[in-house]
Amino acid sequence: MQELVQIEESKAKAKILFGTSERVRVIEGWAPEEEVEIVIEGISEETCGFSVVEVREPKREDVRVPSLLNNPRIIKPFESIVKMYGHPLYKDIDPTLITAIIFPVLFGLMFPDMGHGFLLLLLGLALMFAFKGLGKGMREMGVIITLCGLCSVVGGALFGEFFGFSHFANELVEGSVGMHVPDLLVFEPLWFEPIPHNVERLFIVTMLIGALHMGLGLFLSVANNFSNRHIFEALSGFVKIWCLFGALYFLLVLFGLSFIGLEAGIVVFIMLPIISLFVLKIVSELRHGEGSEHSGHSNSNSKGEKRAIMDYLIILIDGVIDALLENFFRFLANIVSYGRILALALCHAALIEVFILLTFMCLKINIGVAAVVFLAGTALVIVLEAIMAGIHTIRLHFYEWFTKFYEGGGVEFSPFKFRRTYTY
């Protein structure tokens, strides 16, 4: 009965929105492009042909056009991450597909362990299939956890970590407890082992990943601007990409890496993009009428001339601030922020190795106590590190990536329909 009342209430509220006269009703709404013909046929059928339907393409100035996300089932759960930041604007790029690829990869680099990743993968599969009765939200969470767990397994294989056991853990146990980790638990890394001799190498890798990730975001911004016919902003975007990799070059030089001569690199990757951004900012200010407004002061008196000079100085200072602070130094900070990948990976290794040491110490006393310590430590590390890696992966997307191209603020398409569970 309650469901029927709710349906009738929805119908009544919808009728209030109609344009109504004595004999005519005007209904306006949105429909997905591929379903327009179905809507027209439905209206014609319900009105016995006594209807006129006008179909109009949304105009660029229609800022409240709703958008409908249409992604494959496997990546649909990642729409929830995108929507946390904001729904895509109409005709803007939907970042769900790219998020579904990059999010698990970043998670796997922060949580690189074959054993722990495999347990996460099993948990995700359980939420998808064994506990699917818990609802759609839990199933979607299961998909995300499964993909993140899979990438953690790959990350563990790259860095040679299995339930915390590694060559470094073996050396630590031998040096502290005088025992040897079974060879069955120690794997050769497919790439390199970060601890203890390759920490700097992993940091450089994280900076490269950060620059590529943000560069992709800036490229998507260029594509959005071209699509919306904002040509000047699109061309400015290419210069920002240039400046981004200039910031990366600056950081690599600090680590003693330079793939071209130092002087040439500073000119090509640092000075030229900064100067270009400075010029573009001034041109942008003048394009928006600032220059004409400032030049409109009367030059017949010294006061007007001084005011005009001050206004132009403000534009120049604004250009310097935009080129250096708003772009170059911000890109530096953004790239370094990806160092949290290194921090989380090291934190994971250090925390689990504490429990491994305790486990081998307890082995000298009682094997049961050692098993409890290892299992409790493993559970604690998985829960804490998985939550931390998830939070920081979201943070990298929200603050370092989405800010480069994605506005959010769109309106989600919500069709007028009745959800029936107990009635027909």
> What is the CA 53 to chain-centroid distance, rounded?
41
The pLDDT, as a whole number, for residue 111 is 97
What is the CB-side half-sphere exposure of residue 4 using CA atoms within 13 A? 3
The pLDDT, as a whole number, for residue 291 is 42
Q: Each residue of 49-108: pLDDT tens digit?
A: 888 888 888 876 666 788 888 899 999 999 999 999 999 988 888 999 999 999 999 999
**Secondary structure class of 26 (helix, strand, coil):** strand
The pLDDT, as a whole number, for residue 205 is 95
What angle in degrees, to the nearest 10, is found between the helix axes of 367-395 and 114-125?
A: 70
Report the number of secondary-structure helices (H) and strands (E) in the chain.
Answer: 17, 4
Among candidate residues 403, 414, 422, 419, the one with its CA nearest the CA of residue 86? 403
| DSSP-assigned letter for residue 424 | -
The CA-based diameter of the chain, rounded to the nearest angstrom, is 96
The pLDDT, as a whole number, for residue 292 is 46
Cα separation, 404 vs 216, whole angstroms: 9
- The answer to whether 39 touches 415, Cβ cutoff 8 Å, is no
Domain ranges of the chain: 2-56, 96-405
Q: Each residue of 187-219: pLDDT tens digit?
A: 999 999 998 889 999 999 999 999 999 999 999
**Secondary structure class of 6 (helix, strand, coil):** helix
The pLDDT, as a whole number, for residue 300 is 47
Q: Which residues of the chain have pLDDT under 50?
A: 290-300
pTM value is 0.86
What does pLDDT average to over the chain? 85
